[in-house]
Amino acid sequence: MPTLTVAYRDLGLGELRPFLVLTVTGPSGAKGSIPGLIDSGADGTVLPAGYASLMGYAGGDLVAEQGTQVGGSVTMWQATKPASAVVPELAEIVFDLHPCFVHGCQTALWGRKDLMHHFDVAIMERRKQFSLTTV
């Protein structure tokens, strides 16, 4: 089982955090790199709302749902079609993302039902690193 260890990154927010960059391909074939925070508290992938159109999602591809976050209740737009994702350093593993898009969300979150369904994740806060191990 290959393991990838990644140092925390500062993406202009003033502190080192467990950011992972995924290459994501939307249902339209639009492809790009998205940095996101590994978040064991997120059920699934949460993306800022602006990514929906960039990835090729149209209004009919999204269903409004109520969700909760630290600040309380929020409307989330759940994709009805999956996107695909890959960790560039572990390119042999391509997996589905089932993103929801949230207005006002500032940072992509990689959650349990997507990223952590395909990798065991270890957060090493003291060392400012995290690791992904294929399952």
pLDDT in tens, 113-123: 999 999 999 99
CATH number of the domain that residue 20 is part of: 2.40.70.10
Residue 135, pLDDT > 90, answer no
Collect all residues with Cβ–Cβ distance below 8 Å to 132 and sequence separation of at least 6.
3, 4, 6, 20, 87, 90, 119, 120, 121
Burial class of residue 83 in the structure, from the number of CB atoms within 10 Å of its CB (0-12 exposed, 13-18 middle, 19+ buried): buried
pLDDT at 71: 65
Query: What is the pTM for the complete model shown?
Result: 0.90
Mean of the per-residue pLDDT values of the chain = 92
| Single-letter code of the amino acid located at 59 | G
pLDDT at 74: 82
Between 33 and 13, where is the model more confident? Answer: 33
- Number of domains the chain contains: 1
pLDDT in tens, 91-103: 999 999 999 999 9
pLDDT at 2: 86
Q: Are 45 and 82 in contact (CB under 8 A)?
A: no
State the average pLDDT over residues 26-51: 94
Residue 14, pLDDT > 90, answer no
Question: Which structural domain range is residue 55 located in?
Answer: 3-134
